A and B are shown apart, each in its own frame.
Chain A
Amino acid sequence: MSIYLDFEEPINALEQQIAKAQDIGKDAELDMTDKIKELEDKLESKTKEIFSNLTPWQRVQLSRHPERPYTLAYIEAITQGDFQELHGDRNVSDDKAMVGGWGSIDGKTVMFVGQQKGMNTKMRQYRNFGMANPEGYRKALRLMKLAEKFNKPIVTFIDTPGAFPGLEAEERGQGEAIARNIYEMMNIKVPIICIIIGEGASGGALGIGVGDKVIMLENTWYSVISPESCSSILWRSWDYKEKAAEALKLTSEDMKRLKLVDGIIKEPINGAHRNPEEMFATVKREVKRHITLLSKIDPAERCEKRMNKFTEMGVFK
């Protein structure tokens, strides 16, 4: 049974009608083809209507849709299962909220890194809701350095509600771990492609988010704070999350317009969660395209370009 967000309800209703019509057709041996066709047309136009008029808050909801594919699903699909997960930061532990390892894309080795969320209650806890500890960021850096040593491109998948704000995380230097990653990623000599596949919350996202190409999937968000926290701090109430989502300009279109990300990857018409296979294929195509293009650039020049891109961000007078 699929899960539908409130604004997806009309789609749910139509899908149910179609299923019912099909059942009737089968049971009563009636020709329902015309009726079904009519309903399917209606479904298509309704889907288009809903998904082409999404508010920023609705996009935030979509980015968190419980049926949206997560990092490991992308890696599995893109590598067709030719993936080997690597664990641990070599200091403290293995962070389950951050995953990574070697994989191959049509025969070429790539290092994958990304935050991982869980599919059900138990796994969500196991993955700490995709909120990494310092060990996670240090594991990510270890793997990226490994990729640099063996001259393999890096692909990061960003999907986090933020770095974990726990007591041990503070003791072990959450701030330092994120800072170190941002600093080191500026100058890693292999191509880095970062893709926001769900939530891109603040420093926790940026900690694996410095790359030659930073790309957002269409229905994701990326900003300095979540709309809920922004609402609670600036409006001193949790009730302004929709307003905050608008004010923060956190959608892929806004972020691209502000030149804070390099590109947007279109999602299937009804969102990545309704058609993961199509989503994986598109992401794979884009990753391959960018790796090919970036590999042609001299490593020193690539790093310089990467740094210049970030240096130019900001608006002042």
Chain B
Amino acid sequence: MVWFKRKLEGIQTSTKDKKETPEGLWYKCPKCQTVVTTEDHISNFFVCERCSFHERIGSEEYFQLFFDDAKYKEIDKKLKSGDPLEFEDTKKYVDRIKQTQKKSGLTDAIRTAYGKIDGQDFVIAAMDFSFIGGSLGSVMGEKIARAIDKAIKLKAPFMIVSKSGGARMMEAGLSLMQMAKVSAKLNQLSEAKLPYISFLTDPTTGGVTASFAMLGDINIAEPDALIAFAGPRVVKETIGRDLPPGFQRSEFVLEHGFLDYIVERHDLKKEVSKSVRFFMN
């Protein structure tokens, strides 16, 4: 006999409505298995105290980390995906979007906002991997485009926090062209002589790497992030042998000359703010 019966399958609470974590819960590092309280883990920027493993975080956490007093204004909050291709694989694209929105409490895979970093106006576009793998589609392209307009208007530096599996397949040709769209807008930002900082976090792959993520006036990354055009599985299949250790990780990408620096999350705001100061002074 069942005492309590689950009426709806799965977790129905959206991320936003979730309760604050009560005291006394624990976080176990997937890399070194060290256990700390969730509270300590959060106050340590979601980084393992022992092995410095950087847990993946979302746009909200990055906004709070970068903007002074965690204060910011979000732009184009309501922009949502259309379905011009009427795409359907094992699921209808419209349904997939609706379900993901409900589950994640997000409207799409990126949020854009402006605020201040150490007193300087700053515009950030930050991706959420939990929304269809942070995939690049029309909404992301348009939101970045408008965030660039905002940066030009405010004469503020601009940053994209990339965390994406690449272009969104369900928007096919449209998502491919977002790579060109954002590149066109970056030309405009460049003409306005405003700095673009590309911040690559785990993972940044595919069409995002093959467009704006690699086009920063400076490219910076979190430690040990996967940064690739073709993912490791595809490369391995292509060459038919095992990949060298550390392949396509931040440190590897830095060594090959595609990053300016790697920064731990503890120093993130300090270092980015420093870069911004050099550009803007």
Contact = CB atoms under 8 A, between A and B. Distances in A.
Interface of A: 163-167, 169-176, 178-180, 182-183, 186-187, 202-203, 206-207, 209-210, 222-225, 230, 233-235, 240, 243-244, 247-250, 254-255, 258, 260, 306-308, 310-311, 313-317
Interface in B225-250: 228-230, 234-235, 238-239, 243, 247-248
A287 B27 CA distance: 62
A194 B89 CA distance: 31
Interface of B: 79-85, 87-90, 138-139, 141-142, 145, 167-181, 183-188, 206-207, 209-215, 228-230, 234-235, 238-239, 243, 247-248, 256-258
Given A186-B183, A258-B174, A314-B174, A178 B229 contact: yes
Contacts of A175: 209-210, 213-214, 228-229
Contacts of B180: 182, 186, 206, 209-210, 310, 313
A209 B210 CA distance: 13
Given A170-B247, A175-B229, A315-B82, 10 more contacts: A169-B230, A174-B210, A175-B209, A179-B183, A186-B183, A203-B206, A314-B177, A314-B181, A315-B83, A316-B139
> Which of A165, A178, A225 is packed against the most chain B CB atoms within 10 Å?
A165
B243 A176 contact: no
Contacts of B88: 247
B229 A166 contact: no
Contact of A203 (B176, B188, B247): B176
B4 to A, nearest CB: 34
Contacts of B179: 179, 182, 203, 206
Contacts of A258: 84-85, 173-174
Contact of B174 (A170, A172, A230, A313): A313
A173 to B, nearest CB: 5
Q: Which 4 A-B pairs rank lowest in CB-CB distance, beginning with the nearest? A: A165-B230, A175-B209, A314-B138, A175-B229
Given A176-B258, A223-B176, A183 B187 contact: yes
B254 to A, nearest CB: 12
Contacts of B212: 179
Contacts of A316: 79-82, 138-139, 142
Contacts of A235: 89-90
A203 B229 contact: yes
A172 B255 CA distance: 11
B172 A311 contact: no
A314 B184 CA distance: 14
11 contacts: A163-B230, A167-B235, A170-B235, A172-B256, A179-B183, A240-B89, A247-B87, A307-B184, A311-B181, A316-B139, A316-B142
Given A174-B230, A224-B167, A165 B235 contact: yes
B184 A311 contact: yes
Contact of A173 (B85, B186, B256): B256
A203 B82 CA distance: 23
Contacts of B172: 223-225, 247-250
Given A173-B258, A178-B211, A179-B211, A165 B234 contact: yes
A178 B180 CA distance: 11
A35 to B, nearest CB: 47
A169 B169 contact: no
B229 A169 contact: yes
B215 A165 contact: no
A260 B210 contact: no
